[in-house]
Amino acid sequence: MPPLQLERGGGHGVPPLQAWEFLNYNQGEMDSKEPLATNALSEADSKAAANRQRLREIAANDDFARVREYLVLVVDDSIDNVAVISLDLQSEGYKVVTASNGEEAVSVASLTHPDLILMDLSMPRMDGFEATRKIREFEQLKEVPVIAITAFSTDGFRRAAYDVGIAGYLVKPIDSKQMHHLIRRLLAPKDTYSGDLSSGSILGK
């Protein structure tokens, strides 16, 4: 798959109550004012369903396949970014919930207890740094891996991300292959994943 080309949006994200629509639980209620998410969902639904079935069939003999059934929280203030990343994750069998700013991220994380969080760092109302700090205050979420997704690649941003407990760092435009590789590194049990760990950016490693 070629690199995902993500455009910065105008701050209109997917509210938490619509997050499950990416799982097609309430697809009929999808807001028609968001044509990208609506059209993409219908196009990707059959592929996602086929992949989930394939993963179920091999999971009994492949412990690593189980990581793709985990719940991922995607946080970004751009609906385009949220839709592209969420559909990419779903096509690989992950479940997805979303938030459009830091405050929503804290709320959604506390309610759903995701297995991993993809966190934009620059957002209105509450940025990704503060959101990560607050998420870490919940006992059940102290160890959840957080991957930064950001347009900023400076050492200063990387150090700040590491200081608040962010485990991985992806720079926009996001490369899909690198994103999945990094997710696997952070989610897969150490004794069941023996793949190449040379690519991706894990902070502090």
**Residue 22 binned pLDDT confidence (cut-offs 50, 70, 90):** very low
pLDDT digit string (tens) for 154-164? 999 999 999 99
Res. 71: pLDDT tops 70 = yes
Instruction: CATH number for 16-187: choose from 3.40.50.300, 3.30.70.2740, 1.20.1090.10, 3.40.50.2300.
Output: 3.40.50.2300
134-172 burial: b if 16+ Cβ within 10 Å, else e: bbbeeeebeebbbbbbbeeeeeebbebbeebbbbbbbbb
Rg (CA), the chain: 16
pTM over 0.85: no
User: Burial level of 96, CB count in 10 A (0-12/13-18/19+)?
Assistant: buried
Q: What is the pLDDT of residue 97?
A: 97
Which of 51-55, 126-130, 153-157 bottoms out in mean pLDDT, i.e. has the lowest?
51-55
Which residue ranges make up each domain of the chain? 16-187
What does the pLDDT read at residue 188? 76
**Has residue 171 got a pLDDT over 70?**
yes
Residue 92 has pLDDT above 80, yes or no: yes
Provide the pLDDT for residue 129.
96
For residue 205, pLDDT over 70 is answered with no
Instruction: Place 43 in a pLDDT band, splitting at 50, 70 and 90.
Output: low
Confidence check: pLDDT of 18 > 90: no
Cα distances from 103 to residues 100, 110, 123, 125, 194, in angstroms, run 8, 11, 10, 7, 37
